[in-house]
């Protein structure tokens, strides 16, 4: 889990839904990252509710692939549902692996491996959630 100081502006909650695990991220419109974490699927809704208490979330962007229809239904049943935007998440896992190494540069023998052979040492679903927010923001400005 990663957190930065609290934002003074509305933020976007990125959600990479999955069957076993989900990625969550909070980013401001200025692209400042405030939070990211991979959580078990069964605790994702509870964690989303906690993030809504901790941050001024204005929108949820969610990947449109794996189990997204089920998650969209679950999220619509919240007491106070968030505005939800589906984002194309094709190739996001591959992109997230590359981004992982930008965020956490390899050390030791790992840095000697060609980038295509490096595997992040943990799930990258939270980084996918970051990428989904960035794709949404690029769609707004592009």
How many distinct structural domains can be found in the chain?
1
pTM of the complete model: 0.92
Q: Which two tokens stand for residue 74?
A: 């679950």
CATH code of the domain covering residue 132: 3.30.420.140
Residue-wise pLDDT for 21-72, tens only, equals 999 999 999 999 999 999 999 999 999 999 999 999 999 999 998 788 899 9
Q: What is the DSSP letter of 10?
A: -
**Per-residue pLDDT tens over the stretch 72-126:** 999 988 888 899 999 999 999 999 999 999 999 999 988 898 888 889 999 999 9
Domain limits for position 126? 2-141
- Please give the radius of gyration of the chain, using alpha carbons only, rounded to the nearest integer: 15
């Amino acid at each position: 889990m990663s957190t930065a100081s609290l934002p003074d502006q509305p933020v976007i909650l990125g959600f990479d839904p999955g069957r076993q695990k989900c990625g969550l991220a909070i980013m401001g419109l200025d692209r400042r990252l405030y939070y990211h974490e991979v959580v078990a699927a069964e605790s994702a809704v509870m964690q989303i509710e906690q993030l809504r208490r901790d941050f001024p979330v204005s929108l949820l962007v969610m990947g449109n692939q794996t189990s997204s229809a089920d998650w969209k239904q679950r999220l619509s049943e919240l007491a106070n549902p968030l505005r939800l935007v589906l984002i194309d998440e094709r190739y996001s896992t591959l992109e997230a692996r590359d981004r992982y190494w930008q965020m956490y540069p390899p050390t030791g023998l790992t840095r000697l491996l060609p980038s295509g052979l490096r595997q992040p040492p943990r799930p990258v679903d939270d980084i996918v959630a970051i990428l989904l927010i960035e794709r949404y923001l690029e769609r707004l400005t592009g």
